[in-house]
Amino acid sequence: MTSPRDQLVADAQATIAEGSKSFRFASQLFDAQTREHSWLLYSWCRACDDITDGQTLGHDAEVTEDPLDRIAFLEEKTNAALLGEETGLAAFDALGVVVAECGIDPTLTDDHLAGFSRDAVGWQPRTEDDLLSYCYQVAGAVGVMMAQVMGVDPDDRDTLDRAADLGIAFQLANIARDVIEDANVGRCYLPMQWLKAVGLAGEDITHPIHRSSLARLNKRLADLADQYRASARVGAARLPFRSRWAINSASRIYGRVAEKARKLGEHAWDQRIVVPKHEKARLVALALLDSLKSPPQVSREGLWTRP
């Protein structure tokens, strides 16, 4: 007979298999316990994203009519899960399990939900720091939670900051890939200062005439992602080997998305950027080599840092 916890793990595995093939691919490298915990955490993150955007497993986002009600729902169910209450929703019950079993700092869930609250009110960053703070909320905070899943001491500030850096890098790659898709549902994560600098302030950025300017901004996003990935690799080197390999693999795969967005230039949005399975396998092999040697000791000086 399947236990309630085993069912939550099975549900989470099914969710990640459809919602993030890249992270699922990398997660296979974790030891069994860390893998389960990563899936449980992911299922909550995926549910928060889907509920906020009115989408299914990260696809078909649409403008919702009740965004603030959706955020209130997320907060209610998340708080119930953190109190150990059954919510009746597998993704939120999964959060309760992984927080209890791994000792995750529950305030990190507030950081994560704060990003969705920004989306609910149509927020757009004004500056690069605004952009990076948002990337921390929606992805960097998850990186910190994942580090705690992998056993990083909550007092190890530098390693946790570097875990946040990897999440920030992932989100910068996602933004570069999805600029047009996001704009079609009324969202823009390119800072207003950046848009002004290339003459796109107040313009409809989805118009093909602006692709050259958008390509310049995509390069800026990808270059920024490179800096945060380099910092994150220093922190990953402090993890147990299997976790280190998994994280370096995820970094390579998501980094490839940013690299493709930069290389494709004006054609980055002709079709959705994907990393095919054979290419992921090659990147995992390269990540193995990364994990067997010491990374360059990159300073965090000048990088955005979580509060």
Residues 237-254 have pLDDT tens digits of 999 999 999 999 999 999
Average pLDDT over residues 274-284: 95
Report the half-sphere exposure of 51 (CA within 13 A, side-chain side): 22
Give the pLDDT score at 53.
79
**pLDDT recorded at residue 241:** 97
Confidence of residue 54 (pLDDT cuts 50, 70, 90): confident
What pLDDT score does 60 carry? 45
In the prediction, which pLDDT does 66 show? 83
Q: What is the mean pLDDT of the chain?
A: 93
The burial of 42, by beta-carbon neighbours within 10 Å (0-12 exposed, 13-18 middle, 19 or more buried), is given as buried
Domains and CATH numbers, the chain: 1-121 (1.10.600.10), 124-307 (1.10.600.10)
Q: What is the pLDDT of residue 59?
A: 41
Question: Tokens representing 50?
Answer: 């889907």
3-state secondary structure the chain: CCCHHHHHHHHHHHHHHHHCHHHHHHHCCCCHHHHHHHHHHHHHHHHHHHHHHCCECCECCCCCCCHHHHHHHHHHHHHHHHCCCCCCCHHHHHHHHHHHHHCCCCHHHHHHHHHHHHHHCCCCCCCHHHHHHHHHHHHHHHHHHHHHHCCCCCCCHHHHHHHHHHHHHHHHHHHHHHHHHHHHCCCCCCCHHHHHHCCCCCCCCCCHHHHHHHHHHHHHHHHHHHHHHHHHHHHHCCCCHHHHHHHHHHHHHHHHHHHHHHHHHHHCCCCCCCCCHHHHHHHHHHHHHHHHCCCCCCCCCCCCCCC
Task: Kindly report which listed range (32-41, 49-58, 67-76, 246-255) carries the lowest average pLDDT score.
Answer: 49-58
Q: Count of CB atoms within 10 A of residue 1's CB?
A: 3
What pLDDT is stored for residue 279 in this prediction? 96
Task: Report the pLDDT value the prediction gives residue 63, as an integer from 0 to 100.
Answer: 53
Residue 57 banded pLDDT, cuts 50, 70, 90 = very low
Q: How far apart are CA 81 and CA 101, in angstroms?
A: 13
pLDDT at position 58 over 50 = no
- Both tokens assigned to 52: 């906020």
